[in-house]
Chain A
Amino acid sequence: MIGWIIASIVLFIITLVSAFGTYFGLYKEEVEPKGVEPENELSLD
């Protein structure tokens, strides 16, 4: 059971980090089609 709990915590974190990825500097290489949000650019640094 402990193993499943840890596995689900790790997947939970991976999912959240991927969803909020632009705030953590993920997906840097993406070319925004239009209207890059300035706050995203700031958080990439």
Chain B
Amino acid sequence: MSSLWINVLIILALGAVFIISSWYISRKVSSIDEYVGGRGKLGVAFGTTSLLAFWITGNTVMAGPEAAYNDGILGALGYAALGGVAVIAFAPLAKRIHEVVPNGRTVGDFFRHRFDTKNYNLFIVLSLVWVFGFLMTQGIGGGLLLEQVFDIPYELAVILTFFIVIVYSTMGGFSSVTGLAFFQVMLILVVIVVVPPLVYLTVGVSPVYEGMQAFDLGSLDLLAPAGLLLLFAGPILGIGEVFMDNTFWQRAYAIRKDKVTQIFSLSGIGWFFVPIAVATLAFVAIGTQQAPKEVNQVAPFIAEIYGGEFASWAFLIGVWAALASSIAALLNSITSLILNDIYLKFKPKATNDQQLSFAKKLTIAIGVLGLLVSLPKITSMLQMLFFLGVVNAALIFPIMYGLFWKKLNPNMSFVAAISAIITGYIVYYSVGSLQGVVVSGYVSFLVCWVGSMLKPDNFDWKRLELAGVGQEENK
């Protein structure tokens, strides 16, 4: 049997396990709240893994080593900081969200009650563009990954992945997504804890280091300019992504109030060290001069040389679990955003059952749409993320100040977002992608801060307490 069919069988077997588990979990899901979020009930285990499962994507496992292969030590650290710092920086926001928006469901609830209609409309549009763009990168990135690394044809990979994810995330919504996330993260961590040590115990750390010194001294440099820019501009990009991402807001509402800091810290630590652990495999490739055909194959390539077929299959399981869990989280996140912030605006009196049935159909529709736009292989993951990074950075300060600072003037936050996006894209196209993100962040900060100092608002926090209250009454 060729390795292609073994790989497809692995995915089918894993998919069947996910679907059966999801069916088991979904039997208990009867309210729309459980389907789109659940309020303040997740403990440390499921809270942490639901964050890790979404945020550790299939590409994390592959792009981390790629960054390390290209930029050496700084590449690995920069990639880790991009996600890790962002999750830790969201911890105080999550705590604050519990305090000021106790009944919220989505990021839209916050925007509707903290700002005015123009801000809210702008934000809902940008937010949907972002989550959908992110979903596309997952679909396309995942398909490419399975094709290049595991010999599964691109179309088959995308269809298979989306099909399985649509089925299991439609069944139980948020409950299924978070319940399964625990097991998916355990799978990913087992792979990461087993494969790199297996490789390093065979080759040894010192020979790898000496090889890197001999063949590519720059990879050990801690002051290389390109790497340094990634190390500091990367986290700004990551923070922007996390702050505006409804997937994170859903989890902030869903976890227990008293465990917020613990959960976000654990996830941040996880997100910082997990990519480094995988990325160390790229150092072996540099140090022993064994280059794969495509750079993003570097981790499984090295794993297979030293760990044999077992390591290669272990990698496929880890990568695919990471991919499926992120797509599932995104499908559910988009569903909750559309249900809460669009559907309920038009049908405010919809009953629990009507909402539930709409949410299920919506999950399928978004999944199928995600599948269709992922099929043509339009763009690459990193390009798309840097492109959307300008939008992400523009909203950092409206969101952060909106949560903490009563003086933030809604008109200023609107002007800040628009002007940051425009100047950000001018720099993005004229200077460079990360530079565009930095400029967007600066404009967003300065306009929000200076503007609100000149024309301070006096926001009444009680207005936010009302956010999301209406939907509960419909049950």
What is the CB-to-nearest-CB distance from B439 to chain A, in angstroms, rounded to a whole number? 8
A19-B90 Cα distance, complex, nearest whole Å: 7
Q: Digitize A3-30: 1 where CB-to-B-CB distance is under 8 Å, 0 elsewhere.
A: 0110111011011101111110011011
A21-B442 Cα distance, complex, nearest whole Å: 18
> Which one of B85, B404, B445 lies within 8 Å of A30 (CB-CB)?
B404
Asked if B112 is at the interface (CB within 8 A of a chain A CB), the reply is no
A15-B241 Cα distance, complex, nearest whole Å: 13
Determine whether the beta carbon of A35 is less than 8 Å from that of B99.
yes
Asked if A2 is at the interface (CB within 8 A of a chain B CB), the reply is yes
Asked if B334 is at the interface (CB within 8 A of a chain A CB), the reply is no
Closest chain A residue to B439, Cβ basis: A7
Determine whether the beta carbon of B236 is less than 8 Å from that of A15.
yes
A15-B89 Cα distance, complex, nearest whole Å: 9
A9-B236 Cα distance, complex, nearest whole Å: 10
Interface size class of B (residues with CB under 8 A): 35 or more
A31-B464 Cα distance, complex, nearest whole Å: 13
Determine whether the beta carbon of A15 is less than 8 Å from that of B442.
no
> Which one of A14, A22, A32, A33 lies within 8 Å of B92 (CB-CB)?
A22
Enumerate chain B residues within 8 angstroms of A19, measured Cβ to Cβ: 89-90, 92-93, 239, 400
Q: Digitize B66-80: 1 where CB-to-A-CB distance is under 8 Å, 0 elsewhere.
A: 000000000000000
Query: B residues 332-350 with Cβ under 8 Å of A?
Result: none
Asked if B376 is at the interface (CB within 8 A of a chain A CB), the reply is no
Q: A30-B405, A33-B100, A33-B465 are in contact. Are A11 and B236 (CB under 8 A)?
A: yes
A9-B223 Cα distance, complex, nearest whole Å: 14
> Which one of B232, B235, B404, B434 lies within 8 Å of A26 (CB-CB)?
B404
A14-B226 Cα distance, complex, nearest whole Å: 21
Identify whether the interface residues of B are mostly helix, strand, loop, or mixed: helix
A37-B441 Cα distance, complex, nearest whole Å: 30
Enumerate chain B residues within 8 angstroms of A22, measured Cβ to Cβ: 92, 96, 404
Determine whether the beta carbon of A15 is less than 8 Å from that of B229.
no
Enumerate chain B residues within 8 angstroms of A27, measured Cβ to Cβ: 404-405
Interface size class of A (residues with CB under 8 A): 20 to 34
Identify whether the interface residues of A are mostly helix, strand, loop, or mixed: helix
Q: Digitize B451-464: 1 where CB-to-A-CB distance is under 8 Å, 0 elsewhere.
A: 00000000001101
Asked if B406 is at the interface (CB within 8 A of a chain A CB), the reply is yes
Q: A11-B445, A31-B461 are in contact. Are A4 and B404 (CB under 8 A)?
A: no
Q: A12-B236, A34-B99 are in contact. Are A7 and B438 (CB under 8 A)?
A: yes
What is the CB-to-nearest-CB distance from A22 to chain B, in angstroms, rounded to a whole number? 6
> Which one of B102, B438, B464 lies within 8 Å of A8 (CB-CB)?
B438
Asked if A42 is at the interface (CB within 8 A of a chain B CB), the reply is no
Enumerate chain A residues within 8 angstroms of B461, measured Cβ to Cβ: 30-33
Closest chain A residue to B226, Cβ basis: A1
Enumerate chain A residues within 8 angstroms of B405, measured Cβ to Cβ: 27, 30
> Which one of B92, B225, B232, B442 lies within 8 Å of A9 (CB-CB)?
B232
Enumerate chain B residues within 8 angstroms of A2, measured Cβ to Cβ: 225
What is the CB-to-nearest-CB distance from B188 to chain A, in angstroms, rounded to a whole number? 27
A37-B464 Cα distance, complex, nearest whole Å: 18
Asked if B435 is at the interface (CB within 8 A of a chain A CB), the reply is yes
Determine whether the beta carbon of A14 is less than 8 Å from that of B232.
no
Supply 15 further A-B pairs (C-beta < 8 A) apart from A1-B229, A18-B397. Answer: A4-B233, A4-B434, A8-B233, A11-B441, A11-B445, A14-B445, A18-B401, A19-B90, A20-B89, A22-B404, A23-B92, A29-B407, A31-B406, A32-B461, A33-B461
Closest CB pairs A-B (n = 5): A8-B232, A8-B233, A33-B461, A19-B89, A1-B225
What would be 23 A-B contacts, judged by CB atoms less than 8 Å apart? A5-B225, A8-B229, A8-B232, A11-B232, A11-B438, A11-B441, A11-B445, A12-B236, A14-B445, A15-B235, A15-B396, A16-B85, A16-B89, A18-B401, A19-B93, A23-B92, A27-B404, A30-B405, A30-B406, A31-B461, A32-B99, A35-B99, A37-B95
